[in-house]
Structure 1
Amino acid sequence: MPGNPFIGRRESVGVGLEATPGTTVAPQAWQRHLALTLDPKTTVVQNLSAMGRVEDINDSAVTEEWVDGSINGKVTDITIGYLLANIFGVVTPALHSSETIVYDNTFTVASSTLPPSLTFARTNPVRSRRFGMGTLTDLEIDIKQNDWVQVTATVTAKSGTTSTETVAYTAENEFTSKHVIIKTAANLAGLTGATALQVKSLKLKISRKTERFTPVGGIDPVSFDPNSWGVTGTVVMRYTDTTLEDIAFANTAQALSVAIVNSDVTIGTSAHPGLTFTAPQVRFDPQTLDNKLDQTLSQTFNFHAELNTTAGYMMQAVLTNIQNGYAHV
């Protein structure tokens, strides 16, 4: 018998770090989402054998099952750490300067070990399921004028198992465009004293493509093997000078920092919740000029980060909050 229909707001999505890849765990945090897809996928082989007739297909079979989707929501100071732990791979906590309960969780790329996998839990009035071996293939930070700072995570995972969930949203700090400072400089040391860019919008995308592996004799993937790791982005500004235009045209490397810090909130004694991305070496593509006749001209730059062998990384993120690291349950 059909049940009652419900709207998307009735759904909840949770996330937890797995101790063993593919062995599902209870959610450690629940994401306040703005959009959600976790759709079942299958690989189907068709039987094209001839049977003395002109019709082309006479049967089919499922050989593989998994889910793909994306989660979009506001960046919050606790839950974002679980996504960062998976896309980067390594998290190192340390007490924030002069604090006793505030931590700087530094996320760096895992080059020699597999990143920790995630369990995604999706629950609604019709069904609750946990999807193990969750892996992010893209993490995009979206910053726009007069808006919340948002994150979109593109995920893939195993097909899932039925679960029973107790949804519990905890208080978290959020960020708007007024909490963001974006800087470029000739090198990392120059970022501290650099003047903030007057940005209209910025998108920062971390990508780590994966290869789904389902061996002969199974139907569920046993691994989502990580491939190369990279960072790209797009920044839009008013066209008021040629500084970045000239840097981009000359292909001159720049250090970049994107600091998202909610200075309206104090945690611990005097710290503020925040998330800062730092890239010691980025290259900007030549600008695209948006020259509408009746609007202020805007310049758009695409960019990509490069591995800086002196600093030892392409990008790192520091998440300041009251959580001492991100570990599996």
Structure 2
Amino acid sequence: MAVNTITAAQDAASTTTPTTAVSERSVMPPQLRAMRVHKQRIIKTAILAVTLLFLGVPLLCMLIFTMRHPLSGRWSLDPWKAIFTGDGSSLGADLSTLWSGLGTSLALCVVTVIIMLLLLVPVMVIAHIRSRRMERVIEWVATLPLTIPAIVLVVGLGPIYRWLSADVLSTNPIWLRFAYAILVMPYAFRAIAVGLNSIDVLTLCEAARSLGASWPRVFFRVLMPNLWQSILSASFISISVVLGEYTVASLLGRMNLQVALYQLGQSNSQISTAMSLLALLFGVLLLVSLDLISDAMRRSKEEH
């Protein structure tokens, strides 16, 4: 009898506690609620201001450095004019290496994204449908490059690239795409995994198969439209990683954008810094465009 009484008391307490908390929250005076909201707004504003200062001050210093000569103190837009006109001879800089490295990096972005999508998307979809255990193994393999420093990867890739360059392929920097596909794999895997976990893949596949759709039709007409946002995210992140990669290309003796910026910095550091700012701006534009595309796709789904 005593045990039943204690149990009933505990049940009563557990059922009345949330109601009491809600009632206390609902009867909170408006002045106190307004003060709490005001304090939260001040804290959020302070955190945002500190974050913007932390990120913006170095970029502002870089911008000032590109316009103010470090020795004479003279202000000039000549480094920016040299970039947009393509002629840096007046500043003693040869921009041909820069344009060569930029073209190589853009080509590497396209080819790396294609290789990454062809490798990851079908394998992850099949593993998600067939075997969760295999999915965990793929996750472990895909995220492994995060735990291995880039210089260690180069030590292992160096002999392979030396053999490929001498006997199979050539020394063209485009063959860095295989190494870059490994480097972008952890980031791309996480983006695609979020998309797969946000939809009911098994139900969609079973419904499409029950209506007579073949597996290729299920993949391209049912699953891909639901994964476009994740695929775009993985692609844009991969492009940002490839554009900012320096260690692998430098140690393997290949030319890309970051190696070209380093070499250009030896002759004219202002032009190199200005081009680095443009590369950062391009990465920001990629992220903003990803956000805009995601919002547009979400609105179109809600309308339909």
TM-score (norm 1): 0.22
Which one has the bigger helix percentage? 2
TM-score (norm 2): 0.24
Higher relative contact order structure (alpha carbons within 8 Å, sequence separation ≥ 6): 2
Larger Rg: 2
Which one has the bigger strand percentage? 1
